[in-house]
Structure 1
Amino acid sequence: MIKKIDCRQLQCPAPVLNTKKFLEQEPATEIDVIVDNDAAVENVSRFLSFHGFEVSVDTDGINSTISGRRDPETATILETNLDHTKTTQNSDTQKILVIISSQQIGKGDDELGQKLMINFVKTLKEMGNDLWRLILLNGGVKFSTKDSKIFEDLAGLDASGVSILVCGACLTHFGLMDAKVIGETTNMLDVVTSMQLADKVINI
């Protein structure tokens, strides 16, 4: 029997949290999650894929149904504290998380602040393998578009193995969901979990 979860009219991270809560209670093999925004589609799809589901999405232009199907032999109850953002790291390195929530650093002069932020991101590569993850929140999500002045720098970090997460609710707020060209759309559950896992958090 297909389990259905109605997450319409729910904003990030509620659709993922509701899906997670359901899978913590029973080992479902077939699940349909109904949502009404693009951020939820990406977040729930990624969450289900990570947990072994084959995912498909059907939409009528307003509501979307995310269907997850997996082999009964691999279906298990989701552990309450299971981290679905964990990555394999060399034990000799730190896991530094950098959170960028603006397009500028500091207050006083906006133009100077923007230059400082651009220089900061361009210098992040100097962290080497210690730089684990970069999260873009609020105005910082504007850096994920192709018109961003640091697009090539972010692309270089991404190619080097740095995980880049971009807040889906923020993208929706700024009308940039379709303009995002780098990073994975994420939700607050991933943000909080990332902060728990990181050895060091730098919030800009």
Structure 2
Amino acid sequence: MSYPTGEDIAASVPHFDDAVKYINGLPKESPVPGLELTSQEEKLGYYALFKVATVGEVSTKRPGMFDKAGQFKWDAWKALEGLTSDEAKAMYVDIVAMSMLIDAKERPEVFGWLNDMLSNDDCPAFVKTVLDGSKDAWPRIWKLAEDFATALVDAKENGKDGDLVGLRWQAIYGDVYVPKPGMLSSSLGGFKLSGAEWQSWSDLKGTKKDAAMQSYIEKSA
């Protein structure tokens, strides 16, 4: 089975609007001291997938040399050419859900903040779906992601996480869509990847997300 299947798309696309609303509603300043909710890589991914989902392939000229942030966004969008609108919607939804499931294992402070939302009357619908919904109704990839999140913790504890960093990024985000780290990306701030980590991710181009997750789970033991 290779992600995203028609079944994956059918299960995830109905949650697209709620996932977008949740991401757009995140506070500009992190509510968790010392921890950012989304990195530059994640923000670029959400932007690019949203553009493919709602517009399609790149339809504008690449921004000029003085707009480096705009160039990064345009390049990320361009890198996703070939995805259909529904594939992009499903991937967007699944990445947002995966980030919550991973936070549940790796970042208890962020998970605690998310979990506190459930008691609020204005709790985002997508947070309820992921954290308080029936797991039986979860899309296939979310169920696999729960095991993947456990594997991330295991790999960190046994020292294998460094060797598996490329698989981690491929499993969560699919093919590389961000520029290789350098002076320009560093000047914008917020990028987490080193050059070597980026290369290990890029080397896995073409590997399906579900296959990368399964491989990480197996190699983390």
- TM-score between the two structures when normalised by the length of structure 1: 0.26
Identify, as 1 or 2, the structure richer in helix. 2
Task: Point out the structure with max Rg over C-alpha.
Answer: 1
- TM-score between the two structures when normalised by the length of structure 2: 0.25
